[in-house]
């Protein structure tokens, strides 16, 4: 019994020893540590490429695959060498590398796309701004339109800083706001054009009447065309002299109340000739507000367009100190001092002065 047990024990020991030798000398599969390191590296590169922000889905997937591959590799490491199989771990890690690279690529592409989109949109806004500036500079001053231009200009400046800081999506949103402001500006200008189209007939009539009266009586008359900043002196319906003039700082509008900075539009006449004592060299006082202005003012008040406390204003003159090449008065028409000297020789109390925003008629 004892010898049999010894024999059994020796046999078991030999088998264990032999198995051990076999296991020791059998070719062992190597854990995919290099793949794991590569996966970590690819994942880091994806993180650096801002994949979390621009390619979150593949980024998260790469992270998960890397974790799974790593754990699978560790699980195999824990097994007896004979039973280790790293194929799944290797596949997971390879997939993790590929996905991380894809995430990095997608992030870079998105980044590049947004960068170029933001830059081109910014350039677009800049050229639109420039164009609108040209339109605004070439037309009468419209304060509301100027406000929209300022907003768009600030949006452009802001977007440029955002682009420099890599905040492309925000930059695009800011540019969109700027473009929206310009769209409103264009709408305002279009509304002005519509308004002009509606009123051009009345202005034409005013100019015709003024010229006819001058022709009939052989007297002097003054016609101001706001759109071209010109003041015409006519005698007997014929042009005598043309002067450049500055207008109210809100010149695109017809004056409706005191302090609006607009030059009135209508048929007026000179009520006083100030050869001295004017703050602005010399002046010709007009009868603003005339009956039509008063009617319109009351109507606007009743409709609630203007405040019930608003004043209609007055003291609209043709005066000196002009030639600044911009609209700066509070509604008056400003000529240079030498031009004032010239016009004062011909204009007297009662001389008709017709102011229109635009005139398609001679003079």
Partner 1 sequence: MFKRVAVVWAVFALLTMVSCGKAPEEEMQKANTAIEVTRTAEAEDYAPDAYRMAMDTLNAAMAAKEEADGKFSLFRSYGKSKELLVRAEALANQAATEAQAEKERVKGEVTNLFTQAKAVLDSADMAVKKAPRGKGTKADIELIKNDLAATTSSYEEAKSDFDAGKYAVAKTKLEVVIQKARSVSEEIAKAAAKKTRR
Task: Classify burial at 345, counting beta carbons within 10 Å of its beta carbon; exposed 0-12, middle 13-18, buried 19 or more.
Answer: exposed
Q: What DSSP letter does each residue of 52-100 carry, written as one string?
A: HHH-HHHHHHHHHHHHHHHHHHHHHHHS-GGG---HHHHHHHHHHHHHH
Nearer to partner 1 by Cβ, of 149 and 203: the residue is 149
Q: Least distance to partner 1 from the beta carbon of 118, Å? A: 13
Q: Which distant-in-sequence residues (6+ apart) come within 8 Å of 280 by Cβ?
A: 317, 319, 320, 321, 332, 334
Q: What residues line the site for partner 1 (CB under 8 A)?
A: 1-2, 5, 40, 44, 47, 52, 66-67, 70-80, 141, 143, 146-147, 149-151, 153-154, 157-158, 161-162, 165, 167, 170, 249-250, 261, 280, 324, 326-330, 332
Question: Which candidate, 260, 122, 256, 129, places its Cα nearest to that of 185?
Answer: 129
Nearer to partner 1 by Cβ, of 66 and 114: the residue is 66
Q: Least distance to partner 1 from the beta carbon of 298, Å? A: 26
Nearer to partner 1 by Cβ, of 267 and 282: the residue is 282
Q: Least distance to partner 1 from the beta carbon of 178, Å? A: 10
Nearer to partner 1 by Cβ, of 40 and 274: the residue is 40
Cα→Cα distances 168→156, 162, 178, 362, 363, Å: 13, 7, 15, 54, 54
Nearer to partner 1 by Cβ, of 67 and 193: the residue is 67
Q: Least distance to partner 1 from the beta carbon of 197, Å? A: 27
For residues 48 and 51, what is the distance between their CA atoms, to the nearest angstrom? 7
Q: Least distance to partner 1 from the beta carbon of 281, Å? A: 12
């Amino acid at each position: 019994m004892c010898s049999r047990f010894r024999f059994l024990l020796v046999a078991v020991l030999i088998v264990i020893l032999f198995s051990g030798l076999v296991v020791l000398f059998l070719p062992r599969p190597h854990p995919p540590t290099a793949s794991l390191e590569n996966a970590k590296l690819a994942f880091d590169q994806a993180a650096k490429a801002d994949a979390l922000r621009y390619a979150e889905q593949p980024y998260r997937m790469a992270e998960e695959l890397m974790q799974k591959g790593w754990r699978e590799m560790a699980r195999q490491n824990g097994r007896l060498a004979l039973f280790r199989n790293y194929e799944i771990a290797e596949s997971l890690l390879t997939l993790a590398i590929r996905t991380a690279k894809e995430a990095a690529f997608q992030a870079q592409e998105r980044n590049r796309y947004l960068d170029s989109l933001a830059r081109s949109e910014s350039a677009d806004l800049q050229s639109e701004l420039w164009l609108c500036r040209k339109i605004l500079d070439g037309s009468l001053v419209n304060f509301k339109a100027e406000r929209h231009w300022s907003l768009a200009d600030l949006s452009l400046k802001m977007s440029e800083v955002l682009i420099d800081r890599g905040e492309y999506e925000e930059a695009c949103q800011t540019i969109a706001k700027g473009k929206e402001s310009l769209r409103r500006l264009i709408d305002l200008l279009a509304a002005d054009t519509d308004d002009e189209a509606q009123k051009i007939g009345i202005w034409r009539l005013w100019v015709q009447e003024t010229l006819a009266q001058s022709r009939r009586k052989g007297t002097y008359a003054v016609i101001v065309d706001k759109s071209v900043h010109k003041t015409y002196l006519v005698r007997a319906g014929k042009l005598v002299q043309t002067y450049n003039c500055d207008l109210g700082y809100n010149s695109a509008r017809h004056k409706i109340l005191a302090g609006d900075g607009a030059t009135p539009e209508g048929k007026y006449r000179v009520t006083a000739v100030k050869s001295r004592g004017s703050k602005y060299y010399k002046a010709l006082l007009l009868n603003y507000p005339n009956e039509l202005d008063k009617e319109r003012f009351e109507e606007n008040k009743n409709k609630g367009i203007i405040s019930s406390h608003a004043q209609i204003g007055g003291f609209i003159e043709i005066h000196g100190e002009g030639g600044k090449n911009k609209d700066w008065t509070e509604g008056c028409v400003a000529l240079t001092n030498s031009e004032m000297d010239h016009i004062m020789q011909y204009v007297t109390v009662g001389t008709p002065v017709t102011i229109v925003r635009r005139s398609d008629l001679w003079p």
